Structure 1
Amino acid sequence: MTNTALITGASRGLGLALARSLAEAGWHLVLTARGAADLEKAAAELGATAIPGDVTDPGHVARLSGAVPELDLLVNNASGLGVTPLPPLAGYPLEPFRELLETNVTAPLALIQATLPALRARRGAIVNITSDAANGAYEGWGGYGATKAALEQLSNVLAAEEPDVAVWWADPGEMNTRMLADAVGEQEAAAATDPAKVAATLHDLVRSRPASGRVSLQ
């Protein structure tokens, strides 16, 4: 039986690295991201199904869930950083903050709700990618961190409510990604961990299937 994974934010960074790792292990992959060109390139490389779109769009969520009637793994990796340069909370614009909540909290929940029947049927697993900004008081990271804290509590309750589905909220640590570069600059981001190394740890997590909970990938 071939395992199937749905990965959001799969055109670059950790999402793409994990897709490569799973593809090498023979998984069938359904990949999504907003950048259609990069996504199609990744899908062609991996023999995966590409469904480009925005996870905040209910129609796109419906298309994704329709593409995975059988599902073993959902990875909510797509995420927004918010306003840059990162502002203090005293001056954080509220409308961009609402949009960030939509991307980082509401959209993952919507996709979970849409795919839970398939995940329950296969006793599957959910990985919600979080951040140490969810529980660390880092200046400038309040907006982003608040959304990740909400995602962590959502995951925590989901794990209690869905005992037949493994739920992990995974902190990847600092990785050399475009998002980190946008936040802290190219030089500091270049010194961070390669996403491929983090993806290997995440793949090991999926294989070993520990109890639901918060995990650190570095």
Structure 2
Amino acid sequence: TRPTVEPTRPATKPTASPSVAGCPQGEHQREVEAYLARLGGFGRVTVDGRQSAADCDAIRKFQRRYDIRPAHGRAGPTTHDVAKRLATTDTARCRAGSGTTFCIDLTRQTTWVMRNGKVLVPPTVTRTGMPGYRTPAGTFTINYRNVKEWSDPYEVWLPYWQHFTQGMGFHQTTTYLHEKSIGSHGCVNLLPGDAIRYWKLGKVGSKVVLVGRRPGT
């Protein structure tokens, strides 16, 4: 008897990742959707792991807010990292007390502002000292401010400078904030809009509380 030969079946094409026009799905789609839903304020997202026009708009809005480049709506590694850090920041770790307090979570590389024990400015991203220039944890006060300070050691202008200890302070970042292979020389780097907001809220005598430790330092 002759062996039975199965008919040849056409190869099945792999299913492409769901996407919308000009907005491909990223490898962290579901996680980013969940973090944005938890954070709120970026528009409607559906936590299902599938890209949609609404999801894309929300992710783009998030990327523009935190200067994640390019702001193309794709849930890639940087977007996932930033969203996770912000969504998991515990603002209660900052023992703020009365008055205005600037809080920094060195472990998550996030910062926020509290007033009289309540969150005034929700967590945003920061970048602190790189290996060899660790930003210390502790409680300090702003003791000097200058809208544009010149750094002699590093020969660079530091916009919205607010010093709080050992030559370290808040200032607008002078490089791409999300470049994780580098860091500051101990300062708390801020995005331009955040640096301006911190400048307007701060004054000599304002309290600064830093908790945790930047990984790798």
Normalised by the shorter chain, which TM-score bucket? under 0.3
Instruction: Give the TM-score normalised by the residue count of structure 1.
Output: 0.22
Larger strand fraction of residues: 2
TM-score (norm 2): 0.22
Q: Which has the larger radius of gyration?
A: 2
Larger relative helix fraction: 1
